[in-house]
Structure 1
Amino acid sequence: MKDLILLLIMVLMASCSSFAQQIPPPLPNSFDMEFVRIKPGKMLVGKIEIECPSFPDTRDVPDEIKWTEKDFKLCQEMAEKDSRPGFWVYISQPYYIGKYEVTQGQWQAIMGTNPSIFNEDKVGVNTDLHPVDNVTWEMVQELLVKLNNLDNKYQYRLPTEFEWEYAARAGNDSLLSWSETRELAWIQQNDKGTTKQVGTKKPNEWGLYDMLGNVWEWVEDYYNNDVFADPTPPEEGEIHVLKGGSFTSDVTNATYLFHGAGPGNGYDVGFRLVRVNR
């Protein structure tokens, strides 16, 4: 009886071992880049609502600070002029975007150099896990050529501006409060003047880190020389769009809405990638 039980256990163990071998664990890419799957959806881009208060009872307000009815009317006219209805953007296909900004260690492994100003000598600690900084859009294209030649399973590219913003919002249609931004982002008010290790702030609702703050991030699109993006990005231009703000930014431009123009400061500019199957 004991021999029969032992035989059954051995058969079961062999079966489990065979099953485990048939389902290998998912393989990361060659440079330990992690990606998050973003589902299709839609977002309203560029909507700005500016409101003025209604004309109040001002009998007890000192004359030197009292608004007249004319003042309130002017405020309402200006608010109406500067408000924008926005436009809908539809993300029709799922995509994989970097969980973190590309790090100095990853850039070094691919390119053999580290262009970052905020490197170990500058910061005083190992910066392999800090975002790479001081990179131009053209330098990122050089890295993409090398990376795509090295990885025979996936191809990589910069996200479009709308892919970046959709992922950064994580389903949120309203502006973040100061306290929410502080939880998510290394920015001017809570930073000591350098980049920080990726992934050390709270992730957004979709599990992405440092979408705001740390370093500005390049995207694929050309800049349209306007404050907000257009429904159809320009097909050509001289400079490209930066998103997300950096450790030098304040809460005003450390927002997914901000539509910045490169090259920015340079020293606080990095990127994250999108991964696609070959």
Structure 2
Amino acid sequence: MPAPSKAARAGMVFIRGGNFAMGSADDMAGPDERPVHTVAVKSFWMDRTEVTVAQFQKFVDATHYETDAEKFGWSGIFSIADARWEHVDGADWRHPDGPGSRAMPDNPVQHVSWNDAVAYARWTGHRLPTEAEWEYAARGGLAGKTYSWGDVLNPGGKIMANWWQGSFPSHNTGADGFVGIAPVASFPPNGYGLYDMTGNVWEWIADWFGQDYYARSPTENPQGPASGSERGLRGGSYLCSENYCTNYRVAGRSHATPDTSLSNIGFRTVKDID
């Protein structure tokens, strides 16, 4: 099938389907990343960047949607000054650092739950990516590499993504230019032209999380476990560091309940080929 025109879907990248080795067996890999197994995915479209505040604003303006954080009246924020997570009343996607703060239009939307992400995706006619689709896309055509750009975290001394430089949680050097969140596309894209598949904010995926799912995963277009209590998250965030959370690795996995909203969680969407 020929690749569709780049202009066919504004803001999205065509990802041609194929086979890849999913998971990791390297020294940093957790048990939930094993075994490495071959998976085939179909072609799909994926958002070039994480969904931005401006994009989410259009959704809310059109639908009057209220996020889970707004319903609860609070969300979780990691205080860099106090080096800890805090329950902050009034924190939500509009006020990412609590009352009085204002979300910047080009930043990835934060404090969105899996439920919120699904609602947005449905409004656009899209969906959340499966975990297999997300990892396939994040690898950008590279086979068996640790990061979306290769095996070296800082190739030639260059910082390739927004993550925590220094010792988490006590000291962040800000060597990447950002102590906290970064506007989308502030760093180079991967081989498929996708930005921020590493760091910035964790990204919700469609699947229920299953720690042992890889051992029983179908080989074609896996959809994750049939049920569960938590949904998957991928890509790491600006809080991941070499000494604490290395889940900016392309195979790294995380998970949370569907109503969880935090300052380091966002998402992007995909669309099936028409």
Q: Is the TM-score greater than 0.5?
A: yes
Correspondence for 2:40: 90
Answer with 1 or 2: which has the greater Rg: 1
Aligned to 2:48: 99
The 5 A counterparts of 1:146-165 are 146-147=123-124, 155-165=125-135
Residue matched to 1:37: 14
Q: Is the 8 A contact 1:133 1:266 kept in 2?
A: yes
Say which SS state the counterpart of residue 178 (structure 1) adopts.
coil
Contact 1:46-1:229 within 8 A present in 2 as well:
no
More helix by share: 1
CA contact (8 A) 2:45 2:273 kept: no
Secondary structure of the residue aligned to 2:101 is helix
Aligned length: 211
Q: SS of the residue aligned with 2:186?
A: coil
Q: Write out per-residue CA displacement over residues 182-215 of structure 1, whole angstroms, 9 at most, x where no aligned residue.
A: 6431001136432111011011111100000000
Map Cα deviations across residues 213-265 of structure 1 (whole Å, 9 max, x no partner): 00000000000145968524201111100000011111411111111112577
Structure-1 separation of matches of 2:96 and 2:60: 17
- The residue number in structure 2 matching 1:219 is 205
Aligned counterparts, 1:179-194, within 5 A: 179-180=154-155, 183-189=159-165, 190=176, 192-194=178-180
CA deviations 1:46-91 (Å, max 9, x no partner) are 24155xxxxxxxxxxxxxxxxxxxxxxxxxxxxxx99955110112
2:189 alignment partner, one of 203, 220, 231: 203
**By how many angstroms is 1:122 displaced?**
3.4
- Separation in structure 2 between the aligned mates of residue 26 and residue 82 of structure 1, nearest angstrom: 38
Q: Which runs of 5+ in 1 are unaligned?
A: 1-24, 51-80, 148-154
Is 1:178–2:153 an aligned residue pair?
yes
Identical columns (%): 29
Structure 2 gaps, min length 5: 1-5, 66-91, 166-175, 219-223
- 1:1-278 aligned within 5 A: 26=7, 34-49=11-26, 85-91=35-41, 93-112=42-61, 115-118=93-96, 122=101, 127-147=104-124, 155-172=125-142, 173-175=144-146, 176-180=151-155, 183-189=159-165, 190=176, 192-226=178-212, 231-232=217-218, 233-251=224-242, 252-263=246-257, 266-276=262-272
Report if the CA contact (8 A) 1:117-1:133 is conserved: no
Corresponding residue of 2:89: none
Relative contact order: is structure 1 or structure 2 higher (C-alpha 8 Å, sep ≥ 6)? 2
How many Å separate the matches in 2 of 1:207 and 1:257?
19
Give the Cα separation in 2 of the matches to 1:131 and 1:230: 34
Q: CA RMSD in A?
A: 3.2
- Contact 1:133 1:267 (C-alpha < 8 Å) held by counterparts: yes
TM-score by length of 1: 0.66
